Amino acid sequence: MTFSAPEIAAKHQPGQFIILRIDAVGERIPLTIADSDTKDGTITLIVQAVGKTTQQLAGLKPGDNIQDLSGPLGMPTQIEKNLGTVVVIGGGVGTAPLYPIARGFKAAGNKIITILGARNKDLLILQKEFEDLSDELIVMTDDGSLGTKGLVTNALQGLIDRKEDIQKVVAIGPLIMMKFVVELTKQHDLPTVVSLNSMMIDGTGMCGGCRLKVGGQTRFTCVHGPEFDGLQVDFDTLLRRGNTYKHEEQCRLDKFLKG
């Protein structure tokens, strides 16, 4: 979805996000910016319709308006020049925010190996864009309907086994995917960056809803992130907190779908 937001487009850097509200009584949700166009003054978001608000968002038509959005929020990606080989790993809709990050590393003179994973071929996004951008693209699907059957960690292990000189790993996707990527990279002492999409309310660090533990210290995704040193993130606590409102979320979705 493309939104007219010239001020945000002018300031956006890879890794940053926005928080939007569809209407005056709607919840505020964070979404990472997948692309921006300073000439047209637009930002692009890629949304998977899974909850009440994303279902409502997906129902908008060209020309519709939303109540408001704020951004760009969060710290931009730290992109090093001529670092060497950077492996970028996208899982599901996490592939969307990965694209501007990979593009930034490529423009900075790095070799890009991309691993894209999804449950099936219908849920894989931006394949053509990553084919054009990457020095090597590996596609993994859980059911084998596209690329190789298996997990993104299988592909990463293959790169490690062939002695690829990996200088950095960037992984964005479901928490459980990022957790297992980090468990693998820890074994090989590979610097790993993850981008987190925690529960968020105000996006300014005041509410504390997006708190997490990084290296044993409390951090807030909205102002200290969304990117963190994956080797320091307490994923188990994050996974537990992510399920806190599952029942309420389902009830809200059911009510919305019933009209």
From the annotation, which residues make up the binding site for [2Fe-2S] cluster?
207, 210, 222
Q: Annotated binding site for FAD, which residues? A: 46-48
Residue listed under structure tokens 């292990």:
157
CA 156/CA 184 separation, integer angstroms: 8
CA 12/CA 74 separation, integer angstroms: 10
Q: Which helix (H) or strand (E) holds 217?
A: strand 217-220
Distance of CA 215 to the CA centre of its chain: 21
Strand order in the sheet with 29-32: 29-32, 17-21, 68-73
CA 184/CA 89 separation, integer angstroms: 13
Q: Annotated binding site, which residues? A: 46-48, 207, 210, 222
Nearest to 130 by CA among 161, 78, 172: 172
Q: At what angle do helices 175-187 and 235-242 cross, to 10 degrees?
A: 170
Find residue 88's DSSP bridge partners. Answer: 114, 170
DSSP state of 56: H
Do 195 and 226 form a contact (C-beta atoms < 8 A)? yes
Rounding to the nearest 10 degrees, give the CA dihedral for residues 81, 131, 74, 23: 160
CA 39/CA 37 separation, integer angstroms: 5
